[in-house]
Structure 1
Amino acid sequence: MIGRIRGILVEKTPPFVLVDVMGVGYEIQMPMTSLYQLPETGCEVNIYTHFVVREDAQLLFGFANKDERALFREVIKANGVGPKLALTILSGMSAQQFIVAVNEGDVTALVKLPGVGKKTAERLLVEMKDRLGNLEFGQAMSFSVPVAGATHVIVEPPSASAKSDAISALIALGYTQAQADKMVKGVYREELSSEELIREALRSIA
């Protein structure tokens, strides 16, 4: 089991990041709520992970802290909810928003997310109500760790491909091409980075 990764953030291609640990690059999938908090590439990061082994792949999922990871682990225990759908759910709403939705039985908040139908939402709310009692949230979310000897980090302006990158990320999270196009088009501004576009697009359906 790989429970934590600490290394240099090399790439951010939502929902994936690449972290270099002593020359080995770990590709990690992260919910957008966690990925938003990452520093610029070139910084050292500390990411809590959940390791999934399948017949056809070995996957790493990353989180801001142990609480986020604990919630993910509870969500994937629900019937009909795998890691990819759990990633989508926790990208579309924060852990706190999810807890509120469960406590209030808010089906509407969940069915707005791709891959979550009414039956899945209702089942998830019922199953999670009991499990959430065992979770306590309150850890501060902090990824960045100073890199010894680092003098500066180059912050590049938003890429010309930010729009297409944001659309690709939303599709990877489960949205259709048409949905992703519409969401990004509705919030697009030239000065926004791909991460900012994704954040605004997801907020637009909240």
Structure 2
Amino acid sequence: MLKKIRGKIVSIGEENISIEVGPFTLEAFPSFRILKDLETEQEYNFEASFEMSEWNMALYVFKDIDERNVFESLKKVSKIGPKTAARIVRSTDAEAISAMIGSGDISGLSKLPGIGKKTAERIASELKGKFEGIEIKNDLSDAIEALEALGYERFKIMRFLKNNDVSNMPVEEIIKIGLAKLSKK
């Protein structure tokens, strides 16, 4: 099993990257953090997963172990394979995905690419307890939706809620504090 790769990024596309590893150039499917943080012509160590079936072979690469763990967990959920898991991990930060799973955030999970409400419920059910998250109460879901409507990314909102004690605050106060803290980042 392939776990790590060290190579130079030759090109970055929307859905794949080319990595030069010695005399070989490999096509790989990258994660969110790779697309967001890494640059071409630079050498990196990648966490990796090589998937092979009767019809296809694919290399998936991740910036860190957290992304690979989220990918590995997602592809074990019934009716989600490596392609869908890769699409999910490519669409948003692994921390946000694990927070949504940990908190049972069906609404957030169903907004991920290729995931509907039933699949989101299956993910939350099958991976329950696998990731630590925050408990989403109705107050928090209202605050999350309001902050998303104001243009903030869900994973940043979830990180803010996880790192701040907002459990006994009214929705308006959560939004006010969220605006102040999220606009600084």
TM-score, with structure 1 as normaliser: 0.61
Matching of residues 128-147 of structure 1 within 5 Å: 128-132=127-131
Q: Deviations over 1:106-144 (max 9, x none)?
A: 1111111231111100010011113336xxxxxxxxxxx
Tell me the CA shift for residue 67 of structure 1: 2.0
Uncovered stretches (5+) of structure 1, i.e. residues with no partner: 134-202
The percent of aligned pairs where both chains have the same amino acid is: 32
Residue 38 (structure 2) pairs with residue 17 (structure 1): no
Structure whose residues are more often helix by fraction? 2
**1:4 corresponds to:** 4
Larger Rg: 2
**2:77 corresponds to:** 78
Cα distance in 2 between the residues matched to 1:8 and 1:94: 22
**1:87 corresponds to:** 86
Cα distance in 2 between the residues matched to 1:67 and 1:103: 14
> How many residues matched?
137
Q: Deviations over 1:54-112 (max 9, x none)?
A: 11221100001122112211111011111111122222331221122122211111111
**1:120 corresponds to:** 119
2:102/2:130 contact within 8 Å kept: no
Matching of residues 138-157 of structure 1 within 5 Å: none
Uncovered stretches (5+) of structure 2, i.e. residues with no partner: 133-152, 158-185
Moved over 6 A (4+): none
1:49/1:62 contact within 8 Å kept: yes
Q: Deviations over 1:35-58 (max 9, x none)?
A: 21212x211121110010011221
Cα distance in 2 between the residues matched to 1:7 and 1:61: 14
**2:102 corresponds to:** 103
User: 1:64 corresponds to which letter in structure 2?
Assistant: K
TM-score, with structure 2 as normaliser: 0.67
Tell me the CA shift for residue 31 of structure 1: 2.2
Cα distance in 1 between the residues matched to 2:111 and 2:96: 13
User: 2:23 corresponds to which letter in structure 1?
Assistant: G
For the residue of structure 2 that corresponds to 1:79, the secondary structure is coil
2:102/2:129 contact within 8 Å kept: no
1:9/1:42 contact within 8 Å kept: yes
For the residue of structure 2 that corresponds to 1:26, the secondary structure is strand
User: 1:59 corresponds to which letter in structure 2?
Assistant: A
1:89/1:110 contact within 8 Å kept: no
Cα distance in 2 between the residues matched to 1:70 and 1:111: 20
Higher relative contact order (CA 8 A, sep 6+): 1
- Alpha-carbon RMSD: 2.3
